[in-house]
Structure 1
Amino acid sequence: MGILQDLLKDIPIPKMAKVQVAFDDTKIHDVQHVLTEKLNQENIKRRITPGMEIAIAVGSRGLDQIVEMTATTVQFLKGLGANPFIVPSMGSHGGATAEGQQEVLRHLGITEESVQCEIRSSMEVVEIGRLSNGLPVFVDKHASKADGIIVVNRIKPHTAFRGPVESGLMKMISIGLGKQKGAEACHQLGFKYMAENVPAMAKVIMQELPVLFGIASIENSFDKVAVIEVLPSEHIEDKETNLQIIAKQLLPKLYFDELDVLVIDEIGKNISGDGMDPNVTGRYPTPYAHGGPAVNKMVVLDLTPQTEGNANGVGTADFTTQRLVDKANLEFMYANGLTSTVVAPTKIPTTLPNDRQAIQAAIKTSNILDFTQVKMVRIKNTLELSEIEVSEALLNHIHSHPHMQQSSELYSISFNKEGNFLRVEDRNETII
């Protein structure tokens, strides 16, 4: 037995119970119909004339109904005689390559066939101006030549800074459309100044190029579209500020002030730019954002298939598994860190051979006297929080909370012969 096994073999893993968490589930039932109505407002339609080449900026996030929203926009433009095309607008994501960014779109379901529209993917940009602080402003080459630009994005709190506008249309304009060079420029002075630089760069682009309008969605806590708006370019900044307030109210959360251990089954770029949303975990990559529970030790077990090995964000965890590390594409991860200038999320945490030992390590180092009383929560990822698992020590809190309800008896966690969580396909394996 090695030293790690010897240190961890007697650390008990608590019994867990399933808990249902109640969030606001208000949603739009027919997003395409509502979007079509809003697109057909006269103030929007009059911006389109026959023959216009129009770039539709689509990002890397797994937005609810992104394929449907994009396809609806394409058909609206074609119906007015325009010639739309898709521009991947995701900064340095997709490994900062044209092929990688088109592959990211494919993973989201956006292909030329699914949206009936050409995709023009390139990392080439043009500089169209500079901020007063000297930062250059870049825009995708194809978008810069278009007769019009439309941006499609979700409004939500950012994971590394706070400001009137955070993640949304203006960030898509300034960073997404700027590709790797634009993202690098916007991040150059650090997240301390992002709340200033994001809208400043977006304003330069909107002044210099024909940004027609933006399509903004807000999702409820179940990742379903609750609000959708079509914002004329001249109203993007002020309207997005109000939408950001609504987005923060609808953000899912963990209803705990403090946790000894938080276990997260999977992270990925399709979940959050940081792999897992710090607004949920309370673990932020910078000191310029705040909120969420105080977590003593955090464990990340695996990557989503959609993230293509990009494990950005894993560095904010304390422990991970060899399985995750083996899947990690360091080149993709480091491209994120070098572009954003925040490299801590790309570091590899203490790595254990399997799920069991990673969790035991977190419990052992959680600075409590009685390991059987560990306050531990397990979640699938930071997008899916309507059902979580909690340890016995948290049940009194659950029973007194208006938004949480215990939905199972306590049970022991089962592991397969490799020491990983027992999956459905593992049922015939030996349980240890």
Structure 2
Amino acid sequence: MGTDDTARPAAPGGRGVGEDERPEASASPGWGPFEAIRGLRPDGVLPQVTPVRRLMPDLPTETDPYGAARVALDDMPTVLQPGARIAVTAGSRGIRDLVPVVRAAVDWLRAAGAEPFVVPAMGSHGGATAEGQREMLAGLGVTPESVGCPVEATMETVVVGKLDDGTPVHHDAIAAAADGVLLINRVKPHTDFHGPVESGLAKILAIGLGNHRGAASLHAGGIPSLGGAIEAAARTVVAEGKIIGGLAILENAVDQTAAVEFVPADGIGAAAENGLLQRAGSLMGRLPFDQLDVLVVDEMGKDKSGTGMDTNVIGRCWVHGIPEFDSPRIAAISVHRLSEASHGNASGLGMADVIPAGMLEQIDLHASYVNALTSGAGGARRSRLPMVLEDDAAAVLGAVTMSGRRDWSELRLARIRDTLSPHELLVSPALLVEAGNRFDLEITGTARDLTDASGSLGSWGEV
């Protein structure tokens, strides 16, 4: 499959042409040094794949996240002064109900007599510029119109203290000048490390509201120490007395809001947040197979995970000093698109083994490298370029060829849309046999080709 030279997809920066009318390399703009891989196609025929779905009954689901957020805020012990300017954070990608939760917070604060406004809490994202972060918030749906209040952004910070090792603790200058700050973030296992406090309210306070300077200074100590640095930095900012609490969003295994909980200031980076982290970990979606030869990921991006692909799902961390996951064990990963919401930031691309050449057009190296450099040790291996092959079919064939599976009839290959939806898959015949013997998996469709005649990934169709 995918070996017909008469129907190739457009080359990066060029046009799709047949073998007979293909221009010389010098007349092929956009390929540059990758001209050498034009026409390089591993031998082999890809197996057909069949859709399966993991059954997950009784998932906790919050059907009214706006209402749940307003009810949760009723637990806030702080009495707000009339006219108090309260900064509300927004910034994490991939949160399904971010807009209604932020809107609920704005409406609740205004009803309490305050004057709320939104501040981006995004560390170095958006190219480490205020305008870039406003644009990213708009891409997440957070605009003055959607949340009902102004959005104020800056990359300036004030230093509010130091960690024990002398690392300065930076805090967004606009948030620091406000009368109070309400944090909003999803609580979930981190993609780089594990500990009492991972991804959540403490992180958005220490890293997100630390802006570029704060994010870079905390990451500079290396990933093994990052969890403790986030916790200590967050507690340092809380000690300033302006954090009025946080709204923690928990999501279930199919990316739906499971709960919205209020955390008082003294629980941020402490036992209350840790308890929510334990709940979030138990709800997280994972691949239904512990061992794969090849995982085909349609799309990665910052709206899927801070690392483009969630390390907890693919079983790869690839950070110096951090142990690798025991499972899943995946021999080779091909990734085929970068999401539009990533705005070219291909952070985490190095965790893939093979990509199609067309994906190169989507990558903004400046945004990607700013993110990698800010991440310190977290960006070293993850910012590398995978093997580049001509199209989707060649990329998957390359992954299969390098997976170590001699007999392709036994190939354990699965395709997912992204790491937010690992419960829906297209699987090869060897995995289909296993799926048929498991009570937690159902076969939801018929076999179809993995790639089409043009060398592109085939449509998911009815699954």
The one-letter code of the counterpart of 1:353 is E
Distance (Å, rounded) in 2 between the aligned partners of 1:412 and 1:103: 38
Indicate which of 102, 120, 136 corresponds to 1:104: 136
Counterpart for residue 255 of structure 2: 223
Q: Is the 8 A contact 1:252 1:280 kept in 2?
A: yes
Counterpart for residue 356 of structure 2: 321
Distance (Å, rounded) in 2 between the aligned partners of 1:73 and 1:200: 26
Counterpart for residue 429 of structure 1: none
Indicate which of 61, 65, 71 corresponds to 1:37: 71
1:381 is aligned to 2:418: yes
Distance (Å, rounded) in 2 between the aligned partners of 1:32 and 1:291: 38
Q: Is the 8 A contact 1:91 1:175 kept in 2?
A: yes
Distance (Å, rounded) in 1 between the aligned partners of 2:307 and 2:453: 29
Counterpart for residue 428 of structure 1: none
How many residue pairs get aligned? The number is 422
Counterpart for residue 118 of structure 1: 150
Counterpart for residue 452 of structure 2: 415
TM-score (norm 2): 0.88
- The Cα offsets for residues 193-238 of structure 1, whole Å up to 9 and x where unpaired, read as 0121110000000002410010001000111110110111012221
- The Cα offsets for residues 337-369 of structure 1, whole Å up to 9 and x where unpaired, read as 100112221111000110000000011111121
Indicate which of 214, 233, 236 corresponds to 1:204: 236
1:338 is aligned to 2:338: no
Distance (Å, rounded) in 2 between the aligned partners of 1:148 and 1:360: 55
Distance (Å, rounded) in 2 between the aligned partners of 1:276 and 1:104: 19
Q: Is the 8 A contact 2:308 2:348 kept in 1?
A: yes
Counterpart for residue 5 of structure 2: none
SS in 2 for 1:309: coil
- 1:29-108 paired onto structure 2 within 5 Å: 29-41=63-75, 44=76, 46-108=78-140
Structure 1 position 20, deviation (Å): 1.1
- 1:252-401 paired onto structure 2 within 5 Å: 252-286=285-319, 287-288=322-323, 290=325, 292-341=327-376, 342-401=379-438
The one-letter code of the counterpart of 2:313 is V
Bigger shift: residues 211-220 or 283-292: 283-292
Structure 1 position 45, deviation (Å): 5.6
The one-letter code of the counterpart of 2:412 is K
- The Cα offsets for residues 310-330 of structure 1, whole Å up to 9 and x where unpaired, read as 111111111011111111000
- What percent identity do the matched residue pairs reach? 36
Distance (Å, rounded) in 1 between the aligned partners of 2:318 and 2:366: 19
The one-letter code of the counterpart of 2:69 is L
Q: Relative to 1, partners in 2 of residues 1:327 and 1:278: Cα closer, same or farther, differing over 3 Å?
A: same
Distance (Å, rounded) in 1 between the aligned partners of 2:249 and 2:366: 31
The one-letter code of the counterpart of 1:37 is V
Distance (Å, rounded) in 1 between the aligned partners of 2:64 and 2:176: 33
Which stretches in structure 2 are left out of the alignment for 5+ residues? Answer: 1-18, 20-34
Q: Is the 8 A contact 1:23 1:252 kept in 2?
A: no
Distance (Å, rounded) in 2 between the aligned partners of 1:5 and 1:61: 35
Q: Is the 8 A contact 1:279 1:291 kept in 2?
A: no
- In angstroms, what is the RMSD of aligned CA positions? 1.8
Q: Relative to 1, partners in 2 of residues 1:79 and 1:27: Cα closer, same or farther, differing over 3 Å?
A: same
Structure 1 position 9, deviation (Å): 4.9
Which stretches in structure 1 are left out of the alignment for 5+ residues? Answer: 426-432
Q: Relative to 1, partners in 2 of residues 1:158 and 1:420: Cα closer, same or farther, differing over 3 Å?
A: same
Structure 1 position 390, deviation (Å): 0.6
Structure 1 position 398, deviation (Å): 1.1
